[in-house]
Amino acid sequence: MTDQIGALEEGRHGPAVRSVWDRQIRALTAGLVTIITLVAFEALTVVTVLPNVAADLDGLGLYGWATSAFFLGTTVGIVLAGAGADRDGPARPFAAGLLLAAVAPTMGVLVVGRGLQGLGGGAIPLRALRALPGRPGGGLVPIPIAPAVRISAGAGLVLAGLTNRSPLGLPLIAAGIACGLGPLRRLLPAGTLRLRPGIPAAVAVRGLLTWAFFGADTFVPLSITAVRHASITTAGLAVSSATLCWTAGSWTQARLVGRRPYREIIGTGLVLVALGTGGFTTVLLPASVPLAVPIASWGVARDGDGDGDVLFDHRHAGPR
């Protein structure tokens, strides 16, 4: 598969590649789909069983960190994908994280393992994009590793401050902002934090959509098992069905891009995420609302997240 990637990047293939299943890149396509699918299944599995794992390791206080560490690691992993994935690949940190998490004796060790998984998991999608035929620009824009590390560290400090009930909470938040805000502003398109029309606003809205969704998604299985006292199997069915809704939303937006205004597509996604997340809060009302209602509501939120997964390029991020 590495040879096929190199051949694509250097343009050594004779005939033009018209489909991802063309003979020249068929094995490459199968490999990329398999890898991304395995990472997705791993993420779904971890989220589903995390309530039981946290209970077994007596680490409910670190429950949110098990997923936050993964996403913080992903921030660095995306940068490493451009700096070293061509040489070493993302498999090593991801496999090391899987092994460490599997044998973790405490919740803290599990969080470290999840961070390592994020390093590898963040590199995989970007590596796949680099391998696609016809990608513009001939490569990725190199990004220094230090800003990504500072952003991840700053976000971690802010999260630690928000979850800390001691007087250290506010200083941690302030330290996190001081550490990560500057590098974040330099890496984002100019005007992103001010929602400047065009690409900056598109990037900001997509970020808000992602954070809103995954911030709640982490606690869906915990709510179902701890509040409604349902089984892990029920929580798994809820997460899996919601994932199918995300697939439907992604399929829909892929066919609407270019036909419908960009703002309409992303606006619909935001509304669905808001309505679905609000509907899921009924999970906290076990005496009056059946469990099917919050589960269905989360499917709506998942569909909205899929609707919002629009590619932010110059064709769709303008003031349409």
* The pLDDT of residue 179 is above 90: yes
Residue 266 pLDDT level (bands cut at 50, 70, 90): confident
Query: What average pLDDT does the segment 190-197 reach?
Result: 89
In a domain, 179, yes or no: no
Q: At which of 143, 171, 203 does a domain end?
A: 143
- Tell me if 280 sits within 8 A of 301, measured CB to CB: yes
222, two tokens: 């915990």
In a domain, 51, yes or no: yes
Same domain, 2 and 67: yes
Q: Which domain holds residue 79?
A: 1-143
CB atoms within 10 A of CB 296: 17
Residue partners of 37: CB distance under 8 A and separation at least 6 = none
**What Å distances lie between residue 252 and 66, 183, 255, 297, 313, CA to CA?**
31, 35, 5, 19, 18
Going by C-beta distance under 8 Å and a sequence separation of 6 or more, which residues neighbour residue 246? 302, 303, 305, 306
In a domain, 168, yes or no: no
Rank 72-81, 142-151, 173-182 by mean pLDDT and report only the highest: 173-182
Angle 240-246-251 from CA coordinates, rounded to 5°: 130
Residue with tokens 């899996």: 240
Mean pLDDT, the chain, whole residue set: 80
Number of folded domains that form the chain: 2
* HSE (side-chain half, CA atoms, 13 Å) at 231: 3
pLDDT tens profile 6-22: 544 444 445 566 777 77
pLDDT digits (tens, 9 = 90+) for 149-170: 888 889 889 988 888 888 888 9
pTM: 0.77
- Residues 279 and 297: their CA atoms lie apart, in Å, by 5
Which 8-state DSSP code applies to residue 223? Answer: I
Q: Which of these three, 80, 111, 143, is where a domain ends? A: 143
